[in-house]
Amino acid sequence: MKKIFTLALVALFSVSMMAQHEIGAIVGGMNGASYKYWLSNDLAIQTDLAVGLTAAYSGAYFNGTKIAEGQLDHYDFMLNPNLAYHFQLPANFKLYVGGGVGIGLMGGFGGSSVMGKFGANALVGAAYHFNGVPLVMALDFRPGYGLGFEDSSYPHYSMFDWKLGLAVRYVL
């Protein structure tokens, strides 16, 4: 059993050492840290930890009955992991598509309470890998649907929102 565990650990470490990592920052609809881990030449996990400002169309429900709808201006702090498939183009460009989830906190302005947020999003973007410099610049669009919640007796907010982000990452 020890030999199998040791062999599995060595294999995992070897794969990790061969994998490409990118770390940097994202600005725009999300402002924070950005990390990408390549699973293969075409498949990557991109994770962003960021603060954003969103004006989203929303509906407020209480016990299944819609009580309000309209613009919900809020800030959010969230972790957004995405799985993305990349298509290689000429001249160091890659297009990518995928999706993920957003988990975090959101709050409105004017003293409203902070509530939890959970949602799903699509991911569409383009990246440019610089020649001779270990830098990547990427622009992506993330339309998504989310739910805001505080507790079971408080109205939840459902919203369609989107993020547009420009990321610059250093290739490790």
CATH code for position 29: 2.40.160.20
pTM above 0.85, yes or no: no
Write out pLDDT tens, residues 38-60.
999 999 999 999 998 765 555 55
Q: Domain limits at 158? A: 20-171
Is 5 part of any domain? no
**Under 8 Å between Cβ of 35 and 22:** yes
Is 64 part of any domain? yes
Write out pLDDT tens, residues 116-161.
888 999 999 999 999 999 999 999 999 998 887 766 555 566 777 7
Tell me how many domains the chain contains.
1
Residue 81 pLDDT > 60: yes
Is 1 part of any domain? no
Is 27 part of any domain? yes
Is 116 part of any domain? yes
* Location of structure tokens 């059993």: 1
Is 54 part of any domain? yes
Is 95 part of any domain? yes
Task: Render the chain in DSSP notation, one character per residue.
Answer: -HHHHHHHHHHHHHHHHHS-EEEEEEEESSEEEEEEEESSSSEEEEEEEEEEEEEEEEEEEETTEEEEEEEEEEEEEEEEEEEEEEEE-STTEEEEEEEEEEEEEEEESSSPPEEEEEEEEEEEEEEEEPSSS-EEEEEEEEEEEEEEES-TTSPEEEEEEEEEEEEEEEE-
Is 6 part of any domain? no
How much is the pLDDT for 23? 96
